Amino acid sequence: MTALAPALITGCSSGMGRQTALALHRKGHPVYATARRPDDLAALAAEGITTLALDVTDEQSMAAAVTRVEEEHGAVGVLVNNAAYGLHLPVELAGPEEVRAQFETNVFGAVRLVQLVLPAMRAAGSGRIVNISSMGGRFSPPGGGFYHATKHAVEALSDSLRLEVAPFGIKVVVVQPGPTLTDFAGTAVTTMHGPADHDPYGTFRAELADMYAHKTFTRRGGAVPVETATRTIVRAATTARPRARYAIGTVARTVMTARRLLPDAAFDAMLRRSFPLPLHAPIRQSPSKRKSKTEESKWL
């Protein structure tokens, strides 16, 4: 891969996508930064970066962005599949449309972009696909089943893809951030809908939202600066011999190591100590006898 391989990056309106676009641009790569709303990319355009509208749930916009890069450079040199969001709801409460939307953005859009860029990459005999997964691609805590399911899917697809395209000179890399100081926490918290009457998960969802907003995605909770994550993504996108995976942050490395080494029962016990859980409140139980999970849990 040449040092100036053109890079197509999704989800550049903020966070890791925006910082990755800037970093690769400053290294000399022709960068095509994309987002659903081009107005969100004005600051990147002011830096001299080419900006494009790209909605990973819209086939036409994805095809148009890939065609633009191929017309100007022959092929996409680096695809960074970064666009994603986190749906955080108990499995029982998530509606079918919410689940479909989660997979459309986090999985199907990334897959379709891979399919669109591969023919020209194969013809060029080179290319790099960087899929932004998460430490959540290796485990799944309460309240995050659907978001983490999409990241498990990204991991599985990347493993197959890495072997399928290696003979054509194309490398596939997975990046696994832990908690990062971006807008992700705020977006995730907005999906934890407010408690409704007779909602058996109401207290759990409120406690989980508080944990994410004030503990997990903070420096005190071990969240890393976006610049740290960006350096890893850039290394994954540009190093001559990338690893299959790059974990970002102590939290990510620690939790994924525990998931690999501990039996299921022990890992579940660790999660029960670290996350809030729904209250077990049978109908006959007096409310005065319930004990809040907040009083019982130690969170990470």
> How far apart are the C-alpha atoms of 188 and 106, rounded to whole Å?
14
Question: Contact at 8 Å (CB) between 110 and 56?
Answer: yes
| Catalytic residue of the set 147, 201, 212, 246 | 147
> How far apart are the C-alpha atoms of 206 and 276, rounded to whole Å?
9
The yes-or-no answer on residue 32 being catalytic is no
The yes-or-no answer on residue 297 being catalytic is no
> How far apart are the C-alpha atoms of 89 and 59, rounded to whole Å?
28
- Please measure the distance between the N-terminal and C-terminal CA atoms of the chain and give it in whole angstroms: 41
The yes-or-no answer on residue 293 being catalytic is no
What would the two tokens of residue 117 be?
């860029």
| Catalytic residue of the set 32, 85, 133, 201 | 133
The yes-or-no answer on residue 13 being catalytic is yes
The 3-state DSSP class for residue 32 equals strand
| Catalytic residue of the set 13, 171, 201, 212 | 13
The 3-state DSSP class for residue 27 equals coil
| Catalytic residue of the set 151, 158, 212, 293 | 151
Angle between helices 59-73 and 109-124 (to 10 degrees): 20
> How far apart are the C-alpha atoms of 127 and 236, rounded to whole Å?
12
Instruction: Tell me the catalytic residues.
Output: 13, 133, 147, 151
